Amino acid sequence: MTNEATSTVVTEVACPLCGHACDDLSVDTAGNGLAVVANGCDRARDGFARLGGVPTNASARIDGKPASLEEACAEAARILAGAQQPVFGGMALDLNGARGAMELVDLAGGIVEHINNEFGWRASRAVQDGGGINTTLAEVKNRADLIVLFGTDAVSRQPRFFERAVWVEASMFDFDPSSRRIVYLGAGLNTAPGVSPDGRQPDVFEFDKTRMPEALSVLNALLAKQPVAGEAPLGIPLARWQELADALLAAKYSVLVWTASAFDTPQVDMNVGAIAAIARKLNVTTRCNALPLAGNDGDSTMGAVHLWQTGFPMRTSYASGTPKFDPLQNGMSRLLGNGETDALVWMSSLNDTVAPPSTGLPTVVIAPPTQKLDAEPRVFIPVATPGMHLTGHFVRTDKVVSLPLRALKKSSLPAAEQVTAAIAAKMKEVGA
Amino acid sequence: MSLIKLTGGRVIDPANGVNDQVRDIYVRDGRIVAGPNEHEKITAEYNIAGRIVMSGAIDMHSHIGGGKVNIAREMLPEDHRGDPLERTELTRSSCGHAAPGTLAAGYRYAEMGYTAAFEPAILPINARQAHMEMGDTPILDTGGYAMLGSDDFFLRMMAAKEDQKAINDYVAWTLNATQTVGIKIVNPGGISAFKFNQRKLDLDERNAYYGITPRDIVKVLSRAVHDLGVPKPLHVHASNLGVPGNVDTTLGTMDAAEGLPIHLTHIQFHSYGTEGDRKFSSAAARIAEAINQKKNVTADVGQILFGQTVTASGDNMVQYRNADHGSPKKSVIMDIECDAGCGVVPFKYKDQNFVNALQWAIGLEIFLMVDDPWRVFLTTDHPNGAPFTTYPHLIKLLMDRSFRNAMLDTINPDARAMSNLAGLDREYSLYEIAIMTRAAPAKLIGLADRGHLAPGAAADIVVYKEDADRERMFEKPELVFKDGELVVRDGRIVKVVRGNTHAVKPEFDRSIEKKIEPYFQRYHSVRMNNFKISDDELCECGGGSKLIAHACKKRG
């Protein structure tokens, strides 16, 4: 896939560093790290440079002392065999990493909690409560005439959203993408990317984002032709809200963008449900779809694999031998806080920047050598990163499209799934 | 080298005209062979005297993988909690019922004697994930049909009046790129029309933007599949699913293929008239008559059975319309990537509900009135009509008239009065069941070495204990072999193996990529080269499943 036989630049590389999974990167493999030389963003450039390096001295550790991979896996197996209900956190993994993790989680009787799942499970609950009407990036790119962003600027989590899905050169359907109207709801957002190529400013409804439920109520009420109290809900003249509701009704294909992480956490399911209600009302006469932005740190990948293998979302306990899904009981921070878990496994081959929580529990970390750590875990096993050192697969934001990840540079480190397979084999050996 | 002998079983192998003959079957290294070589020792012998032997069953239409199935799983924890699957030494924990985990699906299919299942609605852009899910479905061979007909690239070609050869190249390219075994159309052009806010699309109604009709699409794609030599006829989920009076659309859709092979899927949902006080009636007789007459037509039934399930379809236009009938009332409707769409609506079929009860009767009427078991297939459109785990019950309904009539007596009386089911005396034989669940699907899809028991066939073999209660017989075979490995004994998994992935590789003019690549770059969200699934990548997605590529003989 190189430009020429002699080139060290690989083109059309898919990026696993956010949920957008841009697949047009050009990456130079010549240096020590991996250099994104075309079509990246800061997040991609930093990530490929840092994670894409090939350390020569990365070794597994037990209590901070160098150990062989085999010794480290044996120690991890010993910890898991002795644990009643280990929790598996981090979980920023690709397909095969997630597959390997699930096998070990089942064997060890654990619980999976992705780093984004504190808000992710609430978005999932909105699906379980009512569902939604959704769309995907290529539809937005070609069809969206009005894009409303609820509490998110999109770019903070998915930097190239506007570049790739909004301000594009052409749409298939005889309209000029630069004529799209952009509306932001919420304060503190980076609205500059919402300025159209010809300089048209986006509409911004500035209000404290923790008041999003009120904003959504206003819109839902106006769309239902119900009265709204006050002249200026959330300090914004009612006429502006009405104009937005009318614009949504008049649009041919409006898109309601949200991301669970941008909402006040306890409000996530309520807000997502209210956005779905807006979409349902509008679809009576026109087309309107929500666009959830997810997938960062492989959360769509981990969530999808968990779901398809076992039939349940994350926060399912395997401790009893049968899956017990209980998102209220099985959150990692609650389990740690209440002493309802007795070991922590932190797996993360795609994100090295979030440190595992400090606990008094025996902890196994399976992560890149650059993994941020607040404390030395009992066992540390460095692994290679899919999309940089390993081929792999990554499920994008919409949970529809998945991208192939390339092995761009050789690493002597094992894949996360090789580590979990070795730990599982050890556990079976000792008859756990 | 190992040589297994199955001694003295009553073999039912319709593909080879064998009907209940006592024969020994030999298996060497995963294949059926004529007998031992000179001096060759038998390494394992199973005395199966008196037992019924068939090849492994093949489900030619079952939603086992892909994004919409995963949405269905996410939506229904309350359904899945009731059917947990415990971890054992051999098997992983998972859960079953309406939208089971892939692990449970693989185990349970195998426990019922199924050794292959085909996902009938793979959105090309979602093909990679469908293969991942099917790769995590243990034991079963898998494959799928790629959905075309509402994708913008195809509709643009149609609108530009590109010739049949160009369409054929695109269809062949899609089959290769998605590693699938057939082409499916769902509500031809209707998924696209819904994106332009059309709420229905009759057979001769035009897509508001492209000006193309469903009939145009069926015609050109049935021709493409035929010309390319793809064994599996075009798989068609016709327009107007579930609409009273849709029988005319369904008959018209058959005609749209202009005599070329066409498969009408879940035809029960497309066999409705408008007679009676409630303007909803059975049109099974007209449908069965048409199938009996038109030898180019095959159909699977999509039988409904009473209870909780979930409907998961590419047909977002219809699913949006039906969302209010959902139970529990929730739904996910999606437009997807200028490619297709999906809609997921949980559904509870009730035997005392007039419409549901009549749907149940209509499905059975079709089964019993279509003469040729080679052209009608046993499906519930899992999970849309019912979960696949109801198949043994369905087989009993087909094989046992008194049981069927006893059930008929319990359903909504108005529906009973509207159905001629009580007057249908036919009982399917074991031979006919073997045709519709083995020989015929293998022939239809073009799986030369599956669905039969002659030397050279893959040793997917099922041994049943004869039981007058056909439900009991078919829900728990005594032995199941997958590629020669004993995987099930007495209805329990004894070994977990990995099945194969089937795909076809029709030839095409590679210069079509000169049109597709810039289209992807300009309008899509991924590059063409990252859309295509290579053979190596397929095996990775499939968790190491072996690719079985089937050649196609061009007819165009």
Tell me whether residues B136 and A164 touch, CB distance under 8 A: no
User: How far does A376 lie from chain B, in Å, by closest CA?
Assistant: 33
Q: How confident is the model at residue B483 (pLDDT cuts 50, 70, 90)?
A: very high
* DSSP single-letter state for residue A165: I
Rg (CA), chain B: 22
- Give yes or no for residue B9 having a pLDDT over 50: yes
So what's the pLDDT on residue B70? Answer: 97
Closest by CA position to A69, among listed A346, A383, A385, A432 = A383
Q: Count other Cβ atoms within 10 Å, centred on residue A288.
A: 26
Residue A215 parent element (H or E): helix A212-223
Which residues in chain B have their CB less than 8 angstroms from residue A12's CB? 527, 529-530
Partner-chain residue, chosen from A127, A312, A313, that has the shortest CB–CB distance to B332: A127
So what's the pLDDT on residue A32? Answer: 86
**Is the CB of residue B56 less than 8 Å from the CB of residue B15?**
no
Partner-chain residue, chosen from B84, B125, B197, that has the shortest CB–CB distance to A252: B197
So what's the pLDDT on residue A56? Answer: 78
User: How far does B491 lie from chain A, in Å, by closest CA?
Assistant: 20
Which residues in chain B have their CB less than 8 angstroms from residue A106's CB? 87, 92-93
| Residue A318: closest C-alpha in chain B | B93
So what's the pLDDT on residue B541? Answer: 87
User: How far does A308 lie from chain B, in Å, by closest CA?
Assistant: 5
Burial A55-81 (b: 16+ CB within 10 A, else e): eeebbbbbeeeebebeebbbbbbbbbb
Q: What is the pLDDT of residues A209-227, one digit of tens each?
A: 999 999 999 999 999 999 9
Partner-chain residue, chosen from A313, A399, A403, that has the shortest CB–CB distance to B530: A403
Secondary structure class of B476 (helix, strand, coil): coil
**B419/B422 Cα distance (integer angstroms):** 8
- Give yes or no for residue A5 having a pLDDT over 60: no
AA letter at A356? P
Which residues in chain A have their CB less than 8 angstroms from residue B543's CB? 99
Secondary structure class of B260 (helix, strand, coil): coil
Closest by CA position to A86, among listed A100, A76, A73, A97 = A76
Tell me whether the omega of the peptide bond preceding residue B383 falls within 30 degrees of 0, making it cis.
yes
- Give yes or no for residue B261 having a pLDDT over 70: yes
Burial label for A6, CB within 10 Å (0-12, 13-18, 19+), is: exposed
**B535/B71 Cα distance (integer angstroms):** 27
Question: In the numeric block, which tokens belong to residue A344?
Answer: 């922590």
Which residues in chain A have their CB less than 8 angstroms from residue B94's CB? 309-311, 323
Q: What is the pLDDT of residues A335-382, one digit of tens each?
A: 999 999 999 999 999 999 999 999 999 999 999 999 999 999 999 999
| Residue B78: closest C-alpha in chain A | A128
Q: What is the pLDDT of residues A136-178, one digit of tens each?
A: 999 999 999 999 999 999 999 999 999 999 999 999 998 899 9
Which residues in chain A have their CB less than 8 angstroms from residue B86's CB? 321-322
| Residue B66: closest C-alpha in chain A | A400
**A123/B311 Cα distance (integer angstroms):** 22
Closest by CA position to B337, among listed A162, A131, A140, A259 = A140
Partner-chain residue, chosen from B136, B197, B209, that has the shortest CB–CB distance to A286: B197
Question: Rounded to whole angstroms, what are the CA distances from A8 to A24, A48, A389?
Answer: 16, 15, 15
User: How far does A217 lie from chain B, in Å, by closest CA?
Assistant: 20
Rounded mean pLDDT of A198-208? Answer: 98
AA letter at B129? Q
Residue B154 parent element (H or E): helix B152-159
Question: In the numeric block, which tokens belong to residue A266?
Answer: 């306890």
**A64/A418 Cα distance (integer angstroms):** 22
- Give yes or no for residue A6 having a pLDDT over 80: no
Partner-chain residue, chosen from B95, B320, B323, that has the shortest CB–CB distance to A312: B95
AA letter at B119? E
Closest by CA position to B250, among listed B234, B242, B239 = B239
Tell me whether residues B333 and A132 touch, CB distance under 8 A: yes
Q: What is the pLDDT of residues A411-424, one digit of tens each?
A: 999 999 999 999 99
**A129/A113 Cα distance (integer angstroms):** 21
Q: Does B104 touch chain A (CB under 8 A)?
A: yes
Tell me whether residues A308 and B133 touch, CB distance under 8 A: yes
Tell me whether residues A313 and B156 touch, CB distance under 8 A: no
- Give yes or no for residue A1 having a pLDDT over 50: no
Q: How confident is the model at residue A430 (pLDDT cuts 50, 70, 90)?
A: confident
Which residues 72-91 of chain A have a CB within 8 Å of chain B? none
Closest by CA position to A71, among listed A59, A83, A81 = A59
- Give yes or no for residue A323 having a pLDDT over 50: yes
Closest by CA position to B47, among listed B494, B439, B484, B479 = B479
The chain-wide mean pLDDT, for chain B, equals 97
Question: In the numeric block, which tokens belong to residue A162?
Answer: 């506007």
Q: Does A318 touch chain B (CB under 8 A)?
A: yes
Which residues 321-380 of chain B have a CB within 8 Å of chain A? 323, 330-339, 344
HSE, CB side, 13 Å, CA atoms: give it for residue B306: 16
| Residue A392: closest C-alpha in chain B | B540
Tell me whether residues B526 and A286 touch, CB distance under 8 A: no
- Helix, strand, coil percent values for chain A (each to nearest 5): 35, 20, 45
Which residues 393-412 of chain A have a CB within 8 Å of chain B? 393, 395, 398-404
Rounded mean pLDDT of B305-334? Answer: 97
Tell me whether residues A322 and B132 touch, CB distance under 8 A: no
**A429/A65 Cα distance (integer angstroms):** 25
Q: What is the pLDDT of residues B390-419, one digit of tens each?
A: 999 999 999 999 999 999 999 999 999 999
**Is the CB of residue A158 less than 8 Å from the CB of residue A165?**
no
- Write a three-state SS string for chain A: CECCCCCCEEEEECCCCCCCCCCCEEEECCCCCCEEEECCCHHHHHHHHHHCCCCCCCCEEECCEEECHHHHHHHHHHHHHCCCCCEEEEEECCHHHHHHHHHHHHHHCCEECCCCHHHHHHHHHHHHHCEEEECCHHHHHHHCCEEEEECCCCCCCCCCHHHHHHCCCCCCCCCCHHHCEEEEECCCCCCHHHCCCCCCCCEEECCCHHHHHHHHHHHHHHHCCCCCCCCCHHHCCHHHHHHHHHHHHHCCEEEEEECHHHCCHHHHHHHHHHHHHHHHHHCCCCEEEEEECCCHHHHHHHHHHHHHHHCCCCCEECCCCCCEECCCCCCHHHHHHCCCCCCEEEEECCCCCCCCCCCCCCEEEEECCCCCCCCCCCEEEECCCECCCECEEEECCCCCCEEEECCCCCCCCCCHHHHHHHHHHHHHHCCC
Closest by CA position to B87, among listed B103, B63, B105 = B103
Partner-chain residue, chosen from B78, B128, B523, that has the shortest CB–CB distance to A141: B523
**Is the CB of residue B24 less than 8 Å from the CB of residue B31?**
no
Categorise residue B519: left if φ over 0, alpha if ψ from -120 to 50, beta otherwise: alpha
**A191/A188 Cα distance (integer angstroms):** 9
Q: Count other Cβ atoms within 10 Å, centred on residue B37.
A: 11
Tell me whether residues A141 and B320 touch, CB distance under 8 A: no
* Distance from chain centroid for Cα A32: 28
So what's the pLDDT on residue B556? Answer: 67
Tell me whether residues A308 and B334 touch, CB distance under 8 A: no
- Count how many pairs of residues, chain A against chain B, have C-beta atoms within 8 Å: 203
Interface test with A, best of B89, B142, B530 (most A CBs within 10 A): B530
**B81/B111 Cα distance (integer angstroms):** 21
Which residues in chain B have their CB less than 8 angstroms from residue A165's CB? 525
| Residue B156: closest C-alpha in chain A | A172
Interface test with A, best of B129, B147, B152, B198 (most A CBs within 10 A): B129
**Is the CB of residue B11 less than 8 Å from the CB of residue B422?**
no
- Give yes or no for residue A2 having a pLDDT over 60: no
Tell me whether residues A143 and B129 touch, CB distance under 8 A: no
* Distance from chain centroid for Cα A369: 22
**A423/A416 Cα distance (integer angstroms):** 11
Rounded mean pLDDT of B346-354? Answer: 98
User: How far does B338 lie from chain A, in Å, by closest CA?
Assistant: 6
The chain-wide mean pLDDT, for chain A, equals 96
**B436/B430 Cα distance (integer angstroms):** 10
Rounded mean pLDDT of B383-389? Answer: 98
User: How far does A282 lie from chain B, in Å, by closest CA?
Assistant: 11
Which residues 323-352 of chain A have a CB within 8 Å of chain B? 323-325
Q: How confident is the model at residue A57 (pLDDT cuts 50, 70, 90)?
A: confident
Q: What is the pLDDT of residues B10-58, one digit of tens each?
A: 999 999 999 999 999 999 999 999 999 999 999 999 999 999 999 999 9
Which residues 381-420 of chain B have a CB within 8 Å of chain A? none
Closest by CA position to B263, among listed B60, B548, B57 = B60
User: How far does B346 lie from chain A, in Å, by closest CA?
Assistant: 11
**Rounded to two decimals, what is the model's pTM?**
0.98
Interface test with A, best of B129, B318, B525, B527 (most A CBs within 10 A): B525
**B221/B168 Cα distance (integer angstroms):** 8
